[in-house]
Structure 1
């Protein structure tokens, strides 16, 4: 009886250890950097502090510092509580449009005190692919692409470059379109 219980306990501990090991192995790699023929490239999930490191800081810091925000639009973003929305940003460290608009977006988000926990940054390769295939899930074919979500549902997106010429103005237009339509849709589905 004791032997059977001991074997059962050893088996249970072994299964739990194996499950924990597999779970650990499946955790997403963050801040992956790869070497290409063109030099270094970020790939997959990134934290914003990666961009202030060389070689990315060469373009990131200059654009971040020089960008003059539309303060009226920034005030609208604060008023419309952009911090209540999730942002998913696809960009390429090799892409000139990303070199221009990604630092601008980060400056806007810093200005509105946007929480890092609501921001997802995915760096893609020249084929616009990420290691985990997020570009397929979000149907992204151009970079940069900025996706605005509320309650897991897409509200709108900015693709390649803002239509107004200013990311903050485009974001204001997306938030204005939202005007609780997601909440209405959620309640409509429940009825």
Structure 2
């Protein structure tokens, strides 16, 4: 009888324990928001889905954006995204970020995302580790090396999709 329990334990250790804190919601002073590790599904759920889907559907990456990316540089690309579901800049730019990834055929598995609280703090001090002062902050990595960051909003005359392509194409 101990063998099935042992097999279950080994299976859990090899496959990882389920992440109960993924897409966790918290309420502070009557405001409910996502907090901690999140994914696209969390942003598309509940009231977040209203603004996420609206912006996602309306954002149009540059028509030639795919041709501007050096495809060889996509192999080891990875993104860390820090946002606030309470933040206007996050509500505008994070859906546009995901739309750009979709246009470039970059899978969600290349994205790690954290939702921060109203003070821009994470549950495990992620904001300190990655030096996050504004949201959204999107950090672009290749093979574990930081290539650059998109912070808060594009400057006048810039587009998020073009900024991301520029970062992806960096050496």
Q: TM-score range by the shorter chain?
A: 0.7 to 0.9
Count of matched residue positions in the alignment of Structure 1 and Structure 2: 159
In 1, Cα distance between the equivalents of 2:61 and 2:34?
Answer: 26
Give structure 1 stretches of 5+ with no counterpart.
Answer: 1-12, 180-191
Greater fraction helix: 1
Say if 1:88 and 1:148, in contact at 8 Å, map to a contact too: yes
What is the CA distance between 1:150 and its match in structure 2?
1.3
Q: Aligned to 1:64, which of 33, 48, 56? A: 56
- In 1, distance between residues paired with 2:146 and 2:73? 16
RMSD: 2.4
Could you list the per-position Cα deviations for residues 64-92 of structure 1 after superposition, in whole angstroms to 9, with x for gaps in the alignment?
Answer: 11111112233323635435311000000
Deviations 1:36-70 (A, max 9, x none): 22432000110111111111012111101111111
Partner of 2:114: 122
Question: Which residue in the other structure is 2:165 paired with?
Answer: 172
**Larger Rg, first or second structure (1 or 2):** 1
TM-score under structure 1 length normalisation: 0.74
Q: Is the 8 A contact 2:24 2:34 kept in 1?
A: yes
Which gives a bigger RCO, structure 1 or 2 (Cα 8 Å, sep 6+)?
2
Aligned position for 1:95: 87
Q: Runs in 1 of length 4+ with deviation above 6 angstroms?
A: none
Find the counterpart in structure 1 of residue 128 from structure 2. Answer: 136
Displacement of 1:28 in angstroms is 7.5
Residue equivalent to 1:6: none
CA deviations 1:136-174 (Å, max 9, x no partner) are: 111010000000011211110001112353111111222
Please name the residue that 1:160 is paired with: 152
- Whether the 8 Å contact between 2:138 and 2:151 is mirrored in structure 1 is yes
Q: 1:34 aligns with which of 26, 30, 36?
A: 26
Task: Report whether the alignment pairs 1:110 with 2:93.
Answer: no
Q: 1:38 to 1:64 in 2, by over 3 A?
A: farther
Structure 2 residue aligned with 1:187: none
Gaps of 5+ in 2: 1-5
TM-score by length of 2: 0.82
